[in-house]
Amino acid sequence: MNTFAFAPELTTESVLAATKISVDQTIDEVMNSLPRMDQLSSEQRRGIIARYTAVLEGNFIYWMTAAYLAVKSEAARPIIIDNLTEEVRDSHPAMLRRFAVAAHAFPTDSDALAVDHELTQMRLFFGRLSGVQILVTMAFFEGFIQRYMSYLADLAVAQGSSELEYTDVHGVCDIAHTEGLIQALSMEMALNPLAPDADIFEGVRLLESLLNRVVNVSGTPVAA
Ligand SMILES: [Fe+2]
């Protein structure tokens, strides 16, 4: 992804605009790196679905909860609460598990371990409860998930599945959520500023690495 060094004289508006552009560019980069559907074997398609499930099923609500605990401003709270309520009420983890099982792609221990290093880095990042960094990361994650759904659905259909509730629900265009999280940044930056030497995109970078591991067709963990 591109990096920005935010000069101190930049206005909040210009920082938000630059952040939005960088988040969108990083989503484009991950989307452009996806292997072409017609070049994937059945096992490679299964692996991508399985690693995605290994990451999302047990972590999305956990990380959105970290966002709730980390933010100090009121602006982001209603968006985060909305999101958590929907996740829990409609049991998105159960929906994702049904999606993976129907595609014969429920994660094995090898699938889970293939993403272990990058997943652990993300967990440690969220554990630091840095409001600004987490808001940018979740804006990126929400935007990515929405763009990725049609690809994920195509993988499942190619595996013979017709259980697409998960991808249908998450593919609905909800620009308001992603943009709301970015907008909430301005209040968070004022109330809970990032240390001057901190990287606003640290979580986005870590999540990009994790997503690259998910869609890597070999699924082989990189040697540390
Ligand atoms: Fe969800």
Of 209 and 4, the structure prediction assigns the larger pLDDT to 209
For residues 214-219, average pLDDT: 77
Q: What is the Cα Rg of the chain in Å?
A: 17
DSSP character at residue 198:
S
Q: What distance in angstroms lies between residue 109's CA and the mean position of ligand 1's atoms?
A: 23
Whole-number pLDDT of residue 221: 45
The yes-or-no verdict on residue 220 having pLDDT over 90 is no
Averaged pLDDT score across all residues of the chain: 90
Q: What distance in angstroms lies between residue 137's CA and the mean position of ligand 1's atoms?
A: 16
For residues 143-171, average pLDDT: 96
| Helix spans in the chain (H) | 12-32, 42-70, 77-89, 92-102, 109-114, 116-127, 131-158, 165-170, 175-191, 202-215
Whole-number pLDDT of residue 175: 66
Q: For residue range 122-137, list pLDDT tens digits in order.
A: 999 999 999 999 999 9
Contact 131/73 with Cβ under 8 angstroms? yes
For residues 161-166, average pLDDT: 98
For residues 98-126, average pLDDT: 98
> Which of 9-23, 74-88, 133-147 bottoms out in mean pLDDT, i.e. has the lowest?
9-23
Whole-number pLDDT of residue 183: 78
Of 78 and 214, the structure prediction assigns the larger pLDDT to 214
Whole-number pLDDT of residue 128: 97
Q: What distance in angstroms lies between residue 57's CA and the mean position of ligand 1's atoms?
A: 9
DSSP character at residue 167:
H
The fraction of the chain above a pLDDT of 90, given in percent, is 71
Q: What distance in angstroms lies between residue 170's CA and the mean position of ligand 1's atoms?
A: 6
For residues 171-180, average pLDDT: 74
Whole-number pLDDT of residue 10: 64
Q: What distance in angstroms lies between residue 100's CA and the mean position of ligand 1's atoms?
A: 14
Whole-number pLDDT of residue 222: 42
- The whole-angstrom separation of Cα 49 and Cα 52 is 5
For residues 27-42, average pLDDT: 95
Q: Where are the domains of the chain?
A: 12-215
Q: What distance in angstroms lies between residue 24's CA and the mean position of ligand 1's atoms?
A: 20
Instruction: Extract the tokens encoding 76.
Output: 């982001």
Q: What distance in angstroms lies between residue 197's CA and the mean position of ligand 1's atoms?
A: 33
- The whole-angstrom separation of Cα 70 and Cα 39 is 42
Q: What distance in angstroms lies between residue 93's CA and the mean position of ligand 1's atoms?
A: 7
- The whole-angstrom separation of Cα 54 and Cα 123 is 14
The yes-or-no verdict on residue 224 having pLDDT over 50 is no
Superfamily of chain region 12-215: Heme oxygenase-like (1.20.910.10)
Ion ligand 1 nearby residues (CB, 5 A): 87, 92
pTM of the model: 0.90
Whole-number pLDDT of residue 223: 39
Q: What distance in angstroms lies between residue 96's CA and the mean position of ligand 1's atoms?
A: 8
